[in-house]
Amino acid sequence: MTEREPSPDLVIEQWDWQLRALCRNMDCTIFFAADNKRGSRRARHERVAKAVCARCPVLADCRRHALRAPEPFGIWGGMTAAERRAKLARPVAA
């Protein structure tokens, strides 16, 4: 028996949250700091991105995606890559 392709409707449902994302038409460099940004410059950059996320109506969907993917770079769902790695490394409470 072969695997079936997912229904287009199911695929659309998985991604339609992005249509409502506050960042949808924003410059993506807001959410992806340059590698040479360190210390207070990087922290300031991350605070700006997280402030956008904090007002976003699909923050939970974005965060869920970033943790499942897992997205290795940038701010997703109000979390840095390091914060996502730390969350994924923690054991799940029963």
Query: Is residue 94 included in any domain, yes or no?
Result: no
Q: How far is CA 94 from the centre of its chain?
A: 25
Please state the rounded mean pLDDT for residues 31-39: 93
Mean per-residue pLDDT of the chain: 88
Residue 15 located in a structural domain: yes
Q: What is the pLDDT of residue 14?
A: 72
Asked whether residue 1 is assigned to any structural domain, the reply reads no
In a domain, 2, yes or no: no
Structural domain that includes position 71? 8-89
In a domain, 49, yes or no: yes
The predicted structure's pLDDT at residue 12? 55
Q: Is 77 exposed, middle or buried (0-12, 13-18, 19+ CB in 10 A)?
A: buried
Instruction: Tell me the longest C-alpha to C-alpha distance in the chain.
Output: 56
**What is the pLDDT, as a whole number, of residue 89?**
92
What is the tally of structural domains in the chain? 1
Its pTM stands at: 0.79
pLDDT at 1: 46
3 within a domain of the structure (yes/no) = no
Token pair of 69 as six digits: 């993917």
Predicted confidence band at 92 (pLDDT cuts at 50, 70, 90)? Answer: confident
Residue 85 belongs to a domain:
yes
Side chain identity at 75, as an amino acid letter? Answer: I
- Structural domain contains residue 26: yes
